[in-house]
Each structure stands twice: as structure tokens, then as C-alpha cells.
Amino acid sequence: MKLVFATHNKNKFKEVKSLMPAHIELLSLTDIGCFEEIAETAKTIEGNAVLKANYIKERYDFDCFADDTGLEVEALNNEPGVYSARYAGPDNNAEANIAKLLTRLAGKSNRKARFKTAIALTYKTDDVLFLGVCDGTITSEKKGEEGFGYDPVFQPDGASETFAEMSQSQKNEIGHRGKAIRQLIDYLSE
């Protein structure tokens, strides 16, 4: 089975591909010749995932799925949320996003946060939405070299390390994207 993952993010593609069973051939946007940025104009993470999946289905006629992920920080009224990738500006700069987040949390004792991934699947005649959530806290400083985005400052509940200190397999086991992808795989295996 061929399935397009509607992302330009090489790190995210690699993370998701490592979870896919052998019978699913995962294609990237580059593989199908889609080089444009797909606008994420919805007001929710779920809405952005649906927008991207529908864009690929309508323009390229491939079965596909798209995700959107957001970090929701309780003390910041669930910011950055849908704006996670562009929190510090439109250029999706992870270092600037982390710096802004840590500055906004300075002096706050409540550092509860959660990562949420929504995956929208357009497959044959079905449109399905999957949701994965990982609760944790924001550390006061960056730790670790693995992962991407906010991984160096997000420590999942029950873990002693940030996502950036974990191996890819550890992160996939407990993380938001891994949870949502496993739901997707289960659905496709039915």
C-alpha cells in the first residue's frame, strides 16, 4: 500500500517512517512532486491536519495523511498551541520559539504542558481523524541533542529525561505522534 505523508519536515518524516509497518510504502511530498507550502490557516490543530490532507487528495489524488502538532502550556492559556511552529515569528525557528517560551514561563511555578498531534487521513472514501496526547512539563533549560522543535524543553510525565535526551524509539513509545500514528496503523490494518 502506498500512502503519502503530507509534510516537508524531514525530521518528522523520518520519525513517522520508523513506525510504519513494511506493507505501507510511505511517500513524502517531495516524492510526489509537491514542493509548495500548504497553508495552515485553521484555528485548531485538528483543522490544520484536515486542510493539509484534503489539499493533497484534491490536487494530487493520493491517499494520504497529514498531521499538525501543537504544544499547549497551561500557564500560558495553552499557548503556543496552533502557533507552535511560528510562535516567535513566521520563519519556524525552533531556537527562537524555545527562547520565547522559556522567557514567557520565567518565574512561573506551573510548567504543566502537553503535546497534541492530530492526524487526518483521507483513504479511499474515508476521512478519519486520530489524536495523540502526551502530558508533561517544560524544563527551565534545554537538555539533550535528539529530536526537534520543543523536544529539548519537554519532559513527559513519568520520565526523567526530555524528549531530546531520549532515543527515537523511546520517544515513539510514549510520545504524542507515536500514539496517533499507532491509531492510524491500527485503522489501516483492519
Residue found under cell 513517522 = 16
> pTM of the full predicted structure?
0.90
CATH no. of 2-189:
3.90.950.10
Q: What is the distance between the alpha carbons of residues 104 and 156, in angstroms, rounded to a whole number? A: 20
The residue type at 5: F
C-alpha cell at 105: 514561563
Mean pLDDT, the chain, rounded, equals 93
| Cα distance between residue 122 and residue 124, in whole Å | 7
Active-site positions? 68
Which of helix, strand or coil describes residue 55? Answer: helix
pLDDT in tens, 3-57: 999 998 888 898 888 889 988 999 999 999 999 988 889 999 999 999 999 999 9
Residue-wise pLDDT tens digits, 141-182:
999 998 889 999 999 999 999 999 999 889 989 999 999 999
Q: What is the predicted pLDDT for the residue at 157?
A: 97
pLDDT at 12: 83
Q: How many CA atoms lie within 13 A of 95 on its CB side?
A: 1
Residue 92: the pLDDT is 81
Q: Which residues contact 120 (CB under 8 A, 6 or more apart)?
A: 46, 49, 50, 52, 53, 54, 65, 66, 67, 127, 128, 129
Three cell numbers written together for 148: 526537534
pLDDT tens-place string over residues 54-82: 999 999 999 999 999 999 999 999 999 99
